[in-house]
Amino acid sequence: MIKLITAAERHQASIDDWLKSNYLFSFADYYDPANVQFGPLRAFNDDYVAGKSGFPSHPHADMEIVMIVLSGTFTHKDSLGNDTTIAAGQVQRITAGTGITHSESNDTEDEAHLLQLWFLPNKRGLAPSYEHMPIDFLNADNKLIPLVTGQKVLEDVLYMNSNSTVYYANLKQGDEIDFRTFKIRKTLIYMLSGNCLINNLETEASDQVRLEDQEVVAIHATADSSFILVDVPALEVNY
């Protein structure tokens, strides 16, 4: 199965002019029973946050929360005592576990761009924890850069409690990547910019492709492109 979901089909939301968001899955005021999750991937939000604003302190539990900063900077504070700054090209992971509260604020004058991905964890009731890492993925060309994973131990990659991996890639026009997978797994690709053929399916910026029952995902850039690839188990986790 290969399914294209165009940029226009994403659910668009805004809050008091400080947040412009695009939801790839049911989230907040958007609910579609046919679009709740993809394997353990429960949320994927493409967020633009105005300067001098942000997400006030709020609680989470039993969720692996990944934040990928594409532009700007954010100040993270949480109930574990962490107070850090995350800049473009950096990634953070929160294991909400038994409970954590956190805030993410854009303290600059400029708009910031981030991606939020939420995964249902392999196990409930984990101890809450936090980590962030500069990975410098924005400047890498023509390869998949793993950002966070729970599948294997890799250097310079954040660990999460999900049998999943999130990759980032830039492809120059004419270049291609073959992502080898298994029929027991699923792949989601979210186009950030450019145009690609994904298993011969034409995609544009902000389109997404969801693939199941594949052994190879062939990605060919027809223009300079960047995208996120999420590799997840086919079995859905439900709590």
Query: Are 231 and 167 in contact, with CB atoms under 8 Å apart?
Result: yes
Q: Is 43 exposed, middle or buried (0-12, 13-18, 19+ CB in 10 A)?
A: buried
Closest by CA to 178, choosing from 210, 217, 223, is: 217
Instruction: Return the domain boundaries, the chain.
Output: 2-233
Measured in whole angstroms, how far is the alpha carbon of residue 216 from the centre of its chain? 21
Cα–chain center distance at 144:
14
List Cβ neighbours of 50 (8 Å cut-off, separation of 6 or more).
17, 18, 19, 106, 111
Assigned fold of 2-233: Jelly Rolls (2.60.120)
Tell whether the torsion through CA atoms of 233, 150, 167 and 128 is positive or negative: positive
Determine the Cα–Cα distance for residues 14 and 29; give it in Å rounded to an integer.
11
Which regions in the chain score pLDDT beneath 70?
A: 153, 237-239
Could you tell me what percentage of the chain is helix, strand and coil, using 3-state DSSP and rounding each to the nearest 5?
Answer: 5, 55, 40
Instruction: Please give the pLDDT value at position 136.
Output: 85
Q: What is the pLDDT of residue 239?
A: 62
Q: pTM for the whole thing?
A: 0.96
d(CA 137, CA 229): 13
φ and ψ at residue 53, rounded to 5 degrees: -155, -175
- Scan for tokens 């986790």, then name that residue: 237
Which residues does residue 132 pair with via DSSP β-bridges, in sequence order?
92
Query: Residue-wise over 209-239: b if at least 16 C-beta within 10 A, else e?
Result: bbbbebeebebbbeeebbbbbbbbbeeebee
